[in-house]
């Protein structure tokens, strides 16, 4: 009996770990986020966005609520993905990284996803991405021209409807109508990134549902291997959702090079192909090298690729974090 209870507890815990049961819902007074008439004393309140009235009676739009003028990326329960002060960096941001202060270059060739731009995503396979309307509507946060929410609604708010109050997918992310799997750190990795903790997101790398890399593959499909990446060595593009070879140091020394190693979790995180973060389930994902929104480095990378050297001395991070033979 006792054993059964323990087993079910373990099963429950592992379910919570990656199946997306526990996602954070918004809290606080309705008035913090909704206005019934978009009017306060005859005109919009100064604390609201100026472009309203907004869908769902909101006081702002996505980037309005998720932008700060300060340097702290997580304040009063608001996760910020952009700082107008330009003060976010690789040690002061959340797991998704951050959009650039002036976010308009948008040519696959700067440091961030550029909202509003109409360039095609590098690696797009037209046949699979016919739903994407960013080439005319501009890249957006959600919906048919963005990353969050469903792929069927043009309006970013409609596409994520219900996500903030009744979240059912990892970070309100979907491939088609299937929820992306994963478990989000409650502080969005603020502590891990600033160097004061090891609590981290658990990325899925195919667990019988869409992985985080498949999310990227919605738009960058060729890079996820749906078309022209081999499934085995020699690879012709860097693979994702493939296993870490058993001979590599990060596999052999999993306890010291992953579990409890904050640098590894920050700089070259692994994805997992099952409910538990064990070495046999460890895989490489798009987010092993990139942050989703942007970083201070080219191509939304977690580190400066041009500065990565073979036998880099100090370097067991980035590429060398996994490729120990090159250290």
| In the block, residue with structure tokens 């700082």 | 83
Cα–Cα distance between 247 and 290 in angstroms, integer? 25
Assess contact for 176 and 250: CB atoms under 8 A.
Answer: no
Residue 122 sits in the site that holds ligand HEC (CB under 6 A): yes
Q: Is 45 in the site for ligand HEC (CB under 6 A)?
A: no
Nearer to ligand HEC, 8 or 168 (CB): 168
Q: Which among 1-9, 40-48, 84-92, 155-163 is the span making contact with ligand HEC, rule CB under 6 A?
A: 155-163
Cα–Cα distance, 109 to 121 (Å, whole number): 11
Comparing CB distances to ligand HEC, the nearer of 1 and 126 is: 126
Q: How far apart are CA 273 and CA 208, in angstroms?
A: 9
Rounded-to-10 torsion of CA 8, 13, 16, 22: 110
Task: Select the residue interacting with ligand HEC from 56, 152, 196, 260 (CB under 6 A).
Answer: 56
Residue burial 120-145, b: 16+ Cβ < 10 Å; e: rest: ebebbbeeebeebbbeeebbbbbbbb
Q: Does residue 242 bind ligand HEC (CB under 6 A)? A: yes
Q: Which of positions 163-222 make contact with ligand HEC (CB under 6 A)?
A: 163-165, 167, 171-172, 184, 213, 215-220
Footprint of ligand HEC on residues 273-312 (CB under 6 A)? 284, 286, 288-290, 292, 299-301, 305
289 CB burial (10 A radius; 0-12, 13-18, 19+): buried
Convert residues 74-93 into a mask of x (bound to ligand HEC by CB under 6 A) and - (unbound).
---xxx--------------
| Contact residue for ligand HEC among 40, 108, 133, 198 (CB under 6 A) | 108
Q: How far is the CB of 135 from ligand HEC (least distance, A)?
A: 8
In whole angstroms, what separates CA 31 from the centre of its chain? Answer: 29
Q: Which is nearer to ligand HEC, 5 or 234 (CB)?
A: 234
Give the CA count within 13 Å in the CB-facing half-sphere of 166.
2
Q: State which of positions 124-153 bind ligand HEC (CB under 6 A).
A: 132, 134, 139, 141-142, 146-148
Of 156, 189, 249, 257, the one binding ligand HEC (CB under 6 A) is: 156
- Closest distance between ligand HEC and the C-beta of residue 198, in Å? 17
How far is 202 from 23, CA to CA, in rounded Å? 12
Distance, in Å, from the CA atom of 292 to the CA atom of 13, rounded to the nearest integer, reads 27
Q: Which is nearer to ligand HEC, 6 or 55 (CB)?
A: 55
Query: Looking at 1-9, 108-116, 174-182, 198-206, which segment touches ligand HEC (CB under 6 A)?
Result: 108-116
Q: Quote the least distance from Cβ 62 to ligand HEC, whole Å.
A: 3
């Amino acid at each position: 009996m006792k054993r059964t209870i323990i087993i079910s507890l373990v099963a429950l815990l592992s379910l919570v770990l990656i199946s997306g049961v526990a996602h954070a819902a918004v809290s606080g007074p309705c008035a913090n986020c909704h206005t019934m008439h978009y009017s306060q004393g005859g005109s919009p309140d100064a604390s609201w966005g100026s472009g309203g009235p907004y869908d769902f009676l909101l006081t702002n739009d996505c980037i309005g609520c998720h932008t700060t003028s300060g340097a702290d990326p997580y304040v009063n329960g608001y996760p910020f993905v952009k700082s107008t002060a330009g003060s976010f960096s690789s040690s002061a941001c959340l797991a998704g990284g951050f959009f650039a202060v002036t976010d308009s270059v948008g040519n696959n060739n700067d440091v961030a996803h550029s909202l509003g731009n109409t360039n095609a995503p590098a690696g797009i396979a037209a046949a699979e991405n016919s739903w994407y309307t960013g080439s005319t509507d501009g890249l957006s946060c959600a919906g048919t021209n963005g990353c969050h929410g469903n792929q069927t609604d043009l309006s970013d708010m409609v596409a994520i409807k219900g996500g903030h109050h009744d979240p059912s997918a990892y970070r309100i992310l979907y491939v088609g109508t299937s929820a992306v799997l994963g478990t989000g750190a409650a502080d969005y990795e603020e502590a891990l990134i600033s160097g004061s903790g090891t609590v981290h997101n658990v990325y899925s790398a195919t667990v019988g549902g869409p992985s985080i890399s498949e999310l990227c593959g919605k738009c960058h499909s060729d890079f996820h291997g749906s078309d022209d990446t081999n499934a085995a060595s020699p690879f012709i593009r860097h693979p994702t959702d493939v296993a870490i070879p058993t001979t590599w140091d990060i596999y052999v020394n999993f306890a010291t090079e992953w579990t409890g190693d904050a640098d590894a979790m920050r700089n070259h995180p692994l994805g997992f192909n099952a409910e538990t973060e064990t070495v046999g389930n460890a895989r490489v994902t798009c987010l092993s090298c990139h942050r989703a929104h942007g970083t201070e480095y080219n191509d939304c990378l977690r580190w400066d690729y041009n500065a990565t050297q073979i036998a880099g001395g100090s370097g067991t991070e980035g590429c060398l974090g996994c490729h120990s033979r090159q250290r």
